[in-house]
Amino acid sequence: MPNPGWGPLSGLPGNPLMWVLILSELLVFAAFFGVFAWHRANAPQSFLLGQQHLAPLIGGLNTLVLLTSGLAAALAVDASRQPPSARQRRRTRQRLWIAMALGILFCVIKAFEYHLEFFTSPIPNSVTFFTFYIGLTGFHAAHVIFGLCLLAIAAWRPHPHTVETVAAFWHMVDLVWVLLYPLLYLVR
Amino acid sequence: MHHDLQRRRWRTWALLMLMTLLAMASGALHRGELPWWGLTLVIGASLIKAQQILANYLDLRIAPSAWRGGLLIMVGVMGLCLAAAGLLPRWLAMD
Residues of chain A in contact with residue B9, where contact means CB-CB under 8 angstroms, are: 71, 74-75, 78
Inter-residue contact B15 to B52 (CB < 8 Å): yes
The CA distance from A136 to A166, in Å, is 22
Domain ranges within chain A, ordered by starting residue: 22-186
First to last CA, chain B: 56
Kindly state the helix (H) or strand (E) to which residue B41 belongs, with its residue range. Answer: helix B36-52
A187·B86 Cβ contact <8 A: yes
Question: What share of chain A has pLDDT > 90, as a percent?
Answer: 79
Binned at pLDDT 50, 70 and 90, residue B4 comes out as confident
Domain ranges within chain B, ordered by starting residue: 2-94
Q: What is the pLDDT of residues B7-54, one digit of tens each?
A: 999 999 999 999 999 999 988 888 788 888 999 999 999 999 999 999
Tell whether the model's pLDDT for residue A3 goes beyond 80: no
The CA distance from A77 to A57, in Å, is 30
A71·B9 Cβ contact <8 A: yes
Higher per-residue confidence, A65 vs B71? A65
Rg value, chain B, Cα = 16
Count H helices and E strands in chain A, helices first.
6, 0
Interface pTM, i.e. ipTM? 0.93
The CA distance from A50 to A27, in Å, is 26
Residue B65 confidence (pLDDT): 87
| Candidates 3.30.460.20, 1.20.120.80, 1.10.3720.10, 1.10.760.10; CATH matching A22-186 | 1.20.120.80
pLDDT (average), residues A4-21 = 82
Give how far A2 is from chain B: nearest CA, Å.
9
Inter-residue contact A62 to A106 (CB < 8 Å): yes
Q: What is the pLDDT of residues A16-44, one digit of tens each?
A: 899 999 999 999 999 999 999 999 999 99
Q: What is the pLDDT of residues A47-80, one digit of tens each?
A: 999 999 999 999 999 999 999 999 999 999 999 9
The CA distance from A183 to A58, in Å, is 15
Inter-residue contact A9 to A19 (CB < 8 Å): yes
Residues of chain B in contact with residue A172, where contact means CB-CB under 8 angstroms, are: 58
- Nearest-5° Cα angle at A48, A44 to A50: 120
Inter-residue contact A168 to B43 (CB < 8 Å): no
